[in-house]
Amino acid sequence: ELPQAADYRAAPLCTGDPDDLVIQLADMPGEKIAKVKVGLYEAVRDGMVVNLLLEAIPDLQLRLDANRAWTPLKAQQFAKYVNPDHRARIAFLEEPCKTRDDSRAFARETGIAIAWDESLREADFEFAAEPGVKAVVIKPMLTGSLEKVNAQVVAAHQRGLTAVISSSIESSLGLTQLARIAAWLTPDTLPGLDTLNLMQAQLLRRWPGSELPCLDSAMLEPLL
């Protein structure tokens, strides 16, 4: 049974003007860990934005996610614009390239740590300790049972990998369940649950601190 305790912390998902982001992130209390989606624009631009954030905020760590968007050339163009002195503060970059081998090569050549995400849901994936591979991003709603999620966390930890519980665009009801999973299985790791603002409203359960309206059961249309 899923324990009641929940971890409502979340690495903020950064969007918008980089100059505004610098101000927001600099004002973050406590440990500064944030997430930036890359691969949506030109790789050179992504590299410049990431470098700007790391340069401006010396205690910032970034989690990056490329969703396999880059060719090896594009990935190298990104890395070229990130100062080598700042690269250690990239906690990890999720799946930079279209293939795992290209992503491994990117990590070796740039010194930027990578993480597996989509790979976990592929039949040939095996957990392994590899140079340059630092973490796995586990999305319980795409994984299946709690037993399988638990097994993946255990397998990652046994190989010295960080396991991050992450959302896949759930409602507030789903996110609160993920917060409980994170508190249970990865209590020492900041989860990646900052996706509620992609919604127009919360559902049944409120997420702490969210100002979105919350729909209760009386407001929902029954399907049956």
pLDDT, tens digit, 9 for 90 and up, residues 74-88:
999 999 999 999 999
The per-residue pLDDT for range 107-121, each reduced to its tens digit, is 999 999 999 999 999
Residues 6+ apart with CB under 8 A from 17: none
- All structural domains of the chain, each given as residue ranges with its CATH number in brackets, are 13-199 (3.20.20.120)
d(CA 5, CA 26): 29
Catalytic site residue from 32, 35, 37, 80: 37
- Residue 139 a catalytic site member: yes
Strands, E assignment, the chain: 13-14, 32-37, 60-65, 90-94, 114-116, 133-138, 162-165, 202-203, 214-215
d(CA 48, CA 85): 14
Confidence (pLDDT) at 198: 84
Residues of the chain with pLDDT under 70: none
Catalytic site residue from 32, 74, 139, 148: 139
End-to-end CA distance of the chain: 28
